[in-house]
Amino acid sequence: MKNTNHPTTDNMVPTSEPGTTRVLLISKTNHYMKRIIPYILILSVAVFVSSCDKPTEEQKDADALFQKITRVYTLNPDGSMDYQYQHELDLHTHYSFNRLYGETFIVYNPKHQKLEVNRSETQTAEGKMVASPDNAFNEVLPRFAAGAPPYHHLREMVVTHTGLEKNSTIFVDYTLHSDAGYKPLLMENTVLRESSPVRELVIKVRFPKDKELNYQLLNAEENLNISNKGDMKEYKWVFQDLEATSKEDHQPEYREHLPRLIFSTASFDEATSWFAEQLSYDVPASADNGLDDVLQNKKNRMDSILAIQDMVVNHVNHFDIPIEYKGYSLHSNEQVLENNGGTTFEKTVLLASLLREAGFEAQPLAIEPEAFYSKEVGDLDAFQDYYVTVSRGNEPVYLSAIEENSYNNLYSHGGDVHLLFDKPEENVEVDTPERFTGKQHLKGTFVMNENRTIEGEVTATMTNCENPYLQLQRSEESAKSSLSPGFPASSIKKYTTENIMPGESVISYTVEHKLSPDQQNGYRFVSIPRTQSGLDHSHLDVLTGQRETPFEISWPVDVRYQYTIEMPESVEMITENTSIEKSTDVGELRISIEKSNGKASIDRHLTIDREIIHPENYEAFKEMIGLWKKDQYRTLTFKEKSGE
């Protein structure tokens, strides 16, 4: 997607050699006045028109307000493409120009693209026009290209705006021309929101009449006008009074809840074939010796697979370059190894290739949010994650080429669209697995000794993302830490792996755990042992009172602790019997603490049956999490009996 969260100007004309950024500010007074008068007239008309449609209170109170943004996408008959961006931005606060919009950032590939900054100037609060001077245009290496030598030719134009103050207005206009063949098709996947409110957003898509344009408009009302202009067709959308993007945390990772426009001149099959036709699983002969060394002394199939994954993840650099700046082209395995690095998809193809070279069936795949998927709209920007799939028995295992996860990545993408690439001549295979709930159930029976240790047996049943299957395959000793922090590894005296599979693992433990209770006036406060779960990954310690946007947790969870503790006669449990049961639209909660005949029985059970919590369900979700985390219900209070 284009970076349009920053501002730009107008009295500039191109004056440099082809292939370079072309910007020149006109300094002669008479020429400047001839150019500025039309702008003053235009601004006068704009002020008159806008006075009939006053800003909303939200727009007035915002740090800044985009009066208008225009984006124009053009596919030329020769296959070249142009992207023009314009905006008019009112600055309301010091924060808006000191932190948010003091500069405009434009990333491009000068080998295949030409940038022209047509306008970058500011209208002060008094109405004076201040153009960005020559030294306000500076090219730098994009931050994501640092440490990636093959991409040190990429450039980011930093346009510094001058004359900024409260109630000033920034005008920006630039054009980016892409050579024919650089990009396989005209496509875009853009969110219809900015970091500040927008009074009017205009999107135009122009293309030859003999082409077709398919699109999806998500979470927004249709407002399309189609017209013909000579040999070109134009699709034009106009959106009014767009809210600013919310600053709330825990919003959905892929931002499917936001208004969005996706369009393409190719179908899904046509677009994905661009990737498929580039795939080659050939591995240079130089890699064979390294592969042989990696596979030496490996005991079983998964040992070998994970050793190859380690080779790619930890010994081949990851160049986190957005694929649009590569023209959606892929380096071959030989080039990736020569560069000692590749993009996410390139490393994914390399991992699949090395696994195939070693005799394993392996396929690269891409993950696309279900909301973005359409057979009619081919959008390569919709691919969000990449993995390699191998099999373990009848179960597929998804491996990342850029990080080593503890669980099978398949289970973190239930409900998403999975696109499996295999042979270049075949269409991409599409699958949408159901959403998976990660289950972590601990069941234990303990005896509390006089020295305040507990001894007993615990059985842990863990499924899907709560199942550290890959971590256990790398090191079975890691099973000792699976019950942490409730039962640290030092308290595990023995363990037995009853079943270790990608979908479910069952491990039995013998524990001897020293309780370290807080003491106050003769009372002892003992935390009920608990482990890390997906809820801990979601960082739910502080939840706001209200919610306007959907709230995302790591994955649906089913966590249960069932413990029975037999206490010595010298100790009595002060904690009162507790029974809480709640059933809501997002899940269920049960907390039971009972004491009887020298025994304490604890049953804590929480299920959250969805990954996305919508605002209307947030209050119920917050209440359940608050009860689940409340110290009163996860701490036992003991006291020595009098006379003991």
CA 92 to each of CA 31, 56, 59: distance values in angstroms, whole numbers, following the listed order: 31, 14, 10
Residue whose tokens read 């004491």: 595
The secondary structure of residue 16, as a DSSP letter, is S
- pLDDT over 70 at 374, yes or no: yes
> Strands 635-640 and 578-583: what pairing?
unpaired
| pTM score, whole prediction | 0.88
pLDDT tens string 49-101: 444 478 888 898 999 999 999 999 999 999 999 999 999 999 999 999 999 99
| Residue pair 573/636 in contact by the 8 Å Cβ criterion | yes
| Residue pair 340/382 in contact by the 8 Å Cβ criterion | no
> Strands 198-208 and 64-75: what pairing?
parallel
Question: pLDDT band at residue 205, thresholds of 50, 70 and 90?
Answer: very high
Per the structure block, which two tokens stand in for 54? 């006053």
CA 488 to each of CA 482, 537, 565: distance values in angstroms, whole numbers, following the listed order: 9, 19, 18
Q: Which of 361, 373, 464 is nearest to 410 (CA)?
A: 464
Residues of the chain with pLDDT > 90, as a percent, come to 74
Cα(332)–Cα(327) distance, integer angstroms: 15
Q: What are phi and psi of 121, to 5 degrees?
A: -150, 165
Angle between helices 301-315 and 286-295 (to 10 degrees): 130
The half-sphere exposure of 296 on its side-chain side, counting CA atoms within 13 A, is 6
| Residue pair 213/265 in contact by the 8 Å Cβ criterion | yes
The secondary structure of residue 65, as a DSSP letter, is E
Amino acid identity for residue 143 in this structure? R
Contacts of 362 (CB under 8 A, 6+ apart): 351, 352, 355, 356, 388, 389, 390
Sheet bearing 103-108, strands edge to edge: 103-108, 155-160, 137-140
DSSP code per residue over 589-621: EEEEEEEETTEEEEEEEEEE--SEE-HHHHHHH
Helix (H, G, I), strand (E, B) or coil at 526: strand
- Segment 279-286 mean pLDDT: 91
Residue 317 CA to its chain's centroid (Å): 21
Sheet bearing 635-640, strands edge to edge: 518-520, 523-527, 635-640, 571-573
Q: Which of 102, 93, 95 is nearest to 163 (CA)?
A: 102
Phi-psi region of 255 (alpha: psi -120 to 50; beta: other; left: phi over 0): left
Gyration radius of the chain's alpha carbons: 30
pLDDT tens string 29-57: 344 444 444 444 444 444 434 444 788 88
Q: Which of 269, 263, 259 is nearest to 188 (CA)?
A: 263
pLDDT tens string 598-613: 899 999 999 999 999 9
Task: List the single range of 8-17, 55-64, 583-592 with lowest mean pLDDT.
Answer: 8-17
- Domain ranges, ordered by start, for the chain: 29-265, 275-431, 438-640
Contacts of 559 (CB under 8 A, 6+ apart): 439, 440, 441, 466, 533, 535, 604, 605, 606, 607
Residue whose tokens read 């013998």: 510
- Segment 543-560 mean pLDDT: 95
Q: Compute the mean pLDDT over every residue in the chain, rounded to the nearest whole number.
A: 89
Residue whose tokens read 């994650």: 385
pLDDT score of 35: 45
Residue whose tokens read 């996410």: 344
Q: Which of 398, 304, 393, 298 is nearest to 348 (CA)?
A: 398
pLDDT score of 317: 97
Question: pLDDT band at residue 16, thresholds of 50, 70 and 90?
Answer: very low
Residue 457 β-bridge partners: 445, 510
pLDDT score of 643: 57
Contacts of 368 (CB under 8 A, 6+ apart): 382, 383, 384, 416, 417, 419
Size of the chain, expressed as the number of residues it contains? 644
pLDDT score of 536: 87
ω into 485 cis (within 30 of 0): yes
Per the structure block, which two tokens stand in for 328? 């959606």
- pLDDT over 70 at 241, yes or no: yes
- Segment 289-300 mean pLDDT: 86
pLDDT score of 133: 96
Residue whose tokens read 């234990």: 444
The helix or strand, by DSSP H or E, that contains position 537, with its residue range, turns out to be helix 534-537
Contacts of 605 (CB under 8 A, 6+ apart): 559, 560, 561, 588, 589, 590, 591
Q: Which of 504, 412, 498 is nearest to 462 (CA)?
A: 504
The secondary structure of residue 428, as a DSSP letter, is P
Of residues 255 and 518, more confidence is placed in: 255
Task: List the single range of 403-412, 463-472, 494-503, 518-527 with lowest mean pLDDT.
Answer: 518-527
Is 70 buried (19+), middle (13-18) or exposed (0-12) by CB count in 10 A?
Answer: middle
> What are the start-end ranges of the H helices in 385-484?
469-474
Residue 8 CA to its chain's centroid (Å): 28
The CATH T-level fold of domain 438-640 is Jelly Rolls (2.60.120)
pLDDT score of 522: 73
Residue 278 CA to its chain's centroid (Å): 26
Of residues 290 and 119, more confidence is placed in: 119
Phi-psi region of 521 (alpha: psi -120 to 50; beta: other; left: phi over 0): left
Question: Which class is 275-431 in CATH?
Answer: alpha beta
Q: Which CATH architecture has domain 29-265?
A: Sandwich (2.60)
Amino acid identity for residue 141 in this structure? L
DSSP code per residue over 66-110: EEEEEEEEEE-TTS-EEEEEEEEEEE-SHHIIIIISSEEEEEE-T
Of residues 486 and 507, more confidence is placed in: 507
DSSP code per residue over 303-328: HHHHHHHHHHHHHSEE----GGGGTT
